[in-house]
Chain A
Amino acid sequence: MPAARLLKNALGRRVPSVVNGREQVPFQGVGVSRPAGSKHGPPIRSSDDFPADGNKCVTDLATALERCGLRDGMVISTHHHFRNGDKIALQALEAAAQLGVNDLMWFPSASFPCHAPVIDLMDRGVVHHIEGSMNGPLGEYCSHGKMRGLGVLRSHGGRWQAIQDGEVKIDVAVIAAPTADAFGNCDGSHGPSACGSLGFALADSIYADHVIVVTDNLVPFPCVPWQIQGNNVDCVVQVDSVGDPSQIVSGTTQITRSPDRLLIAEYVARFLRDAGIMRQGFSFQAGAGGVALAFVQFLKDMMKEDGVRARFVRGGSTQYLVELLREGLTDYILDGQTFDLAGVASIASDPRHVGTSPFTSYNYHGKGNFATMVDATVLGATEVDVQFNANVVTHSDGVLLHGIGGWQNCLFAECTILAIPSFRDRIPVIVDDVTTITGPSELIDVIVTERGIAINPRRQDLLDRLSGSSLPIRPIEQIKEEVEGILGGPPQRPQLTDEPVAVVKWVDGTVLDTVWKIAT
């Protein structure tokens, strides 16, 4: 194994040269990296090796994992369509533990608080490390340097990129499906545990060596529609319940009631109008999170007032986007992830509500992707700095807090807006240097806070378009100084060690920044 050194990348951040035994390329700048060669492919299979009657059912997950040849040190992947209601990731890892398998790399498309028991599996040696988002207890565990390998944080698009260019080779993918047939065709939009799109599992189904489908709603062939093709599936396992669909609705899908957050949301909507972005046939992305949902409500009123209709809206679908569709204010919803049950019902019944995957929306190794075609995207952040770099993965005390999700990929929209409070309690959000760069400043155009709107000086065009607006457009340094005045001066800097515990990947697979072990 090559020895790891710390290298400086194009943003001046120190990043390890080797991560979990693989050599790394430090971030070189947006759009610089151009890997060559062929995409990764799974081994050649022969249909004669699979049952002619199409019945791939096995009795339980342990049997399926055994049949798929799970061994020490392999990579096992799961997906987060059920968000905090997922049951299958833990069941799969526990089944691996039953088989006596150790040192697995768990490769989830995202993790949630319900996955906290993986800490125990790491302590027992079953799981070696996680490459995927780590929040809550898992984030704490990693931040304190307790994980044996380094965490690797990737965007949804970056996960697809890592699979396609062979950086991560998935040995066994376990896909939880609300409806499936015995052949392995499966779908997320129907069944008692319907969760909407299964887009995050698509790459795994195509590129993993082995694929297991787990369902609580086995239907006779054919399962229609099929979002995942059974032709890629090795085994099908029937269980009592794959997940709790009521838990796919997280706290982040409620509109905020905070007057300050509503003010931010109103500023966002007015910005889109005053900048001329809100026009006939435009498009926007709205994520989860109180402000992101609330701005849609304000924008909706303005669209009605001006008689403007969007061509498409990308989400994170929620009831608020579904209402836009029903009221004729957008032609389509392009849905990467279904956030609430209204979204689930809509995607199952309305042909204008279309499921997408990180391949169509985000992938760096595709021949283009949808994210760059969106007119405006509204996102959150834990911190931004006066250069307009932003952080979503760590808290300003350095503790790993959130995954990247589609956040990095969405930055490629024509106009990227971060809608954030200028401080939380007594914690400033606008700082001199973000703790962890998750998004480079050249892609972040506008920062909307309750105390004013800062436009990146790189976007002179936006500054010009807003010159006559009644919105409070202010230099970012001025907002920062005002907040520091309120909070009682600039904050002390948190103490961090020089020991990496995780890395943040850019969408092209290069290393953007390092998460350091926190000092205890």
Chain B
Amino acid sequence: MPGHAEAGRKGEDVRSDLHVNVQLRKSGGRTVDVESKVATYYGQSITATVEGVLDALAVRHARVGVDDTGALPFVIAARVETALRRAGVTSDGDARPTRTCVPLAPQRDRPRRSRLYLPGNEPKFFVNAGLHRPDAVILDLEDSVHPDEKDAARLVVRNALRCVDFGDAERMVRINQLPVGFDDLEAVVPEAPHVVLVPKAERTEDVRAVHERILDIQRRVGSDTAIWLMPILETALGVEHAFAIATAADTVVALTVGLEDYTADLGVTKTAEGSESLYARMRLVNAAKAAHVQAIDSVFGDVGDMEGIAAWARRSHALGFEGMGCIHPRQIGPIHDAFAPSTEEIEKALRVVAAFDDAQAKGLGVVSLGTRMIDPPVVRRAQRVVAAARQAGLIADTGAAGSKG
């Protein structure tokens, strides 16, 4: 039927989402029918949100049916806009919800120990994600989103970047492979995510194309907020090009690896201890360090295996990675523990930093600790350890190392 479309979800298991049914028409004005399990509390608000999107996209004649299971306003707006777009509304009106959340300033070298994957079309998981204190959240538009729902997820993620408070977490978006990824960038770049993850990066061109499109969109919308890139190496070729990819653009801040696709590309089975991917991971670590970007590990897939993830994360830290992905908030704690510096490391680092500060204060060019001279790289490393320890809450702002816990 021309001018008819649906979006969103309904059904027994659906919570905090909605289903929208739109029929555009030539005349007859607008009718909006809202069924909601929270109608007692927010019935008027839901109708107002729907009307607001219709106004913004200049839809004057339509029948709109909403079946709501307690969706938040940013989700309602995204679903309604998706249905209208699918029905053929082409207005370039701005239907974005009012921005209620100001993100933290971008920071190139911040800790990225944990990044929590959030499926882009599952907004009910967004709103409390920051409470679990990951270093970053990833709003995923790629593998966790069904190909038929890419348009819907894009608008949900765009609206979430405006409205959801992710706390201190860095806001990352994983786009699709190009060219679909270009559409993702058009939607999300104006909302200034901190990091864009570039999937299946194999060549420098893959990264440069994303980098240039970001700059292009930013020029159009008049933004100069830095957006960092984290390419994901997921193929044998990508791993071969690790250093070139890490240096493909000056906005690359980290390299990471996708082991599901990588092991598939190699034709081997992915195991819990990971020896089949050791070469790729070490190659990545070396390339990242050579390029002065962070080396970030893949995810650990078994949510129920808390000892497994702790062991993986400890090994990963020992190999030189600075963080890894997580697919469940309960994985964040073990990851932060594993990537946190040990008490001995912290104490040594504090002594080095103190010696450096002392030398600076005295105007000395040479830093020494006891009878030993300290090289500048050792000082930089110590400063990073102290910063990481502070981030992990292992030292007070001015105090010495305390015990963990």
Contact = CB atoms under 8 A, between A and B. Distances in A.
A263 interface: yes
A492 B44 contact: yes
A426 B76 CA distance: 12
Nearest to B165: A486
Interface string A417-449: 000000011111000000000000000000000
A488 B38 contact: no
A45 B41 CA distance: 57
A210 interface: no
Contact of B70 (A259, A425, A451, A485): A425
A486 B72 contact: yes
A425 B42 contact: no
B128 interface: yes
B43 A425 contact: no
B72 A487 contact: yes
B73 A397 contact: no
Interface string B34-52: 0001101111110001000
A344 interface: no
Given A263-B132, A470-B393, A492 B40 contact: yes
A260 interface: yes
Given A426-B16, A488-B72, A259 B330 contact: yes
Contacts of A489: 45
Q: How large is the interface on B (under 10, 10 to 19, 20 to 34, 35 or more residues)?
A: 20 to 34
A427 B127 contact: no
B100 A262 contact: no
Interface in B71-99: 71-73
Contacts of A185: none
A283 interface: no
A427 B70 contact: yes
B100 A426 contact: no
A427 B71 CA distance: 10
A450 interface: yes
B16 A397 contact: no
Contacts, number: 61
A494 interface: yes
B294 interface: no
Contacts of B146: none
Nearest to B71: A426
A391 interface: no
B40 A494 contact: yes
A396 interface: yes
Interface in B226-273: none
A486 B49 CA distance: 14
A491 interface: yes
A425 B131 contact: no
A259 B16 contact: no
A472 B33 CA distance: 41
Contacts of B405: 305
Contacts of A486: 72, 127, 165
Given A263-B329, A425-B37, A427-B70, A488 B131 contact: no
B127 A492 contact: no
Nearest to A486: B127
A434 B274 CA distance: 54
Nearest to B116: A259
B16 A491 contact: no
Contact of A397 (B40, B49, B328): B40
A451 B131 contact: yes
B391 to A, nearest CB: 14
Contact of B72 (A305, A426, A428, A494): A426
Interface string A82-124: 0000000000000000000000000000000000000000000
A259 B69 contact: no
A450 B128 contact: yes
Contacts of A487: 42, 72
B380 interface: no
Contacts of A427: 38, 41, 70
B15 interface: yes
A428 B42 CA distance: 11
A305 B405 CA distance: 11
Contacts of A428: 41
A325 to B, nearest CB: 24
B393 A426 contact: no
B16 A425 contact: yes
Interface string A375-402: 0000000000000000000001100000
A245 to B, nearest CB: 28
B128 A426 contact: no
Nearest to B41: A491
B195 to A, nearest CB: 23
A485 B100 contact: yes
A484 to B, nearest CB: 11
A359 B356 CA distance: 70
Contacts of A262: 329-330
4 smallest A-B Cβ distances: which pairs?
A: A425-B70, A491-B41, A259-B329, A426-B70
21 contacts: A259-B132, A259-B328, A260-B128, A263-B132, A263-B329, A305-B405, A397-B40, A425-B37, A426-B38, A426-B41, A427-B38, A427-B70, A486-B72, A487-B72, A488-B49, A489-B45, A491-B41, A491-B42, A492-B40, A492-B42, A494-B41
Given A259-B330, A305-B405, 19 more contacts: A259-B328, A259-B329, A262-B330, A263-B131, A396-B40, A425-B16, A425-B37, A425-B38, A425-B70, A426-B38, A450-B131, A451-B131, A487-B72, A488-B72, A491-B41, A491-B42, A492-B40, A492-B43, A492-B44
